[in-house]
A = this chain, B = another copy of it.
């Protein structure tokens, strides 16, 4: 049960997905599950499921598979923070609001504490249970609410500036949905995702399948 060894990033992603599926199973009165069942739900291989579960040090029973409740709890111990973390969404365009909707009221360990926008129309309203503040109160609110993770959904022109402010406020992690890459000091964990890049990648592989060579 030694799981201080750093787990691979991809394993973490899958653990998050296992838990989500397992919660659904639990809601259906299911108590145990086999590796190949989890695999089928997520369209991956049973081997990979078993390997991931091995890495977190959980052990199923031989003929019943894994205890769903126990597995959910263990995944929680691994990927959740004990006391929870506060998250802020910066930029309430369509994407920012989409994220608020997705997350609203779901995660208990990840609390969306605040949203920010520059548009006065949006400021002081509440979206998905989250209050929207003006962008110029970013620093103040981040500190007051002890926000550790920022989700960047501002226009590309604002990315660098907002990112700097986040870092200066002592943010611990940034999820950047802006098409503009940012750089951060090593103690800040950064993950970037660009929708246009993803789409162009799909287009490339579609093209290749059409004209194989």
Contacts and interface: CB of A to CB of B under 8 A. Distances in A.
A203 interface: yes
A200 B102 contact: no
Interface string A88-114: 000001110111011100110110000
Interface residues of A, number: 64
Task: Tell me how many chains of this kind the complex includes.
Answer: 2
A143 to B, nearest CB: 17
A95 B93 CA distance: 10
Interface of A: 4, 6-7, 9, 12-13, 16-17, 20, 41-43, 78-81, 85, 87, 93-95, 97-99, 101-103, 106-107, 109-110, 148-149, 151, 172-175, 179, 181-183, 187, 189, 191, 193-210, 213
A87 B195 CA distance: 14
A203 B79 contact: yes
Nearest to A150: B202
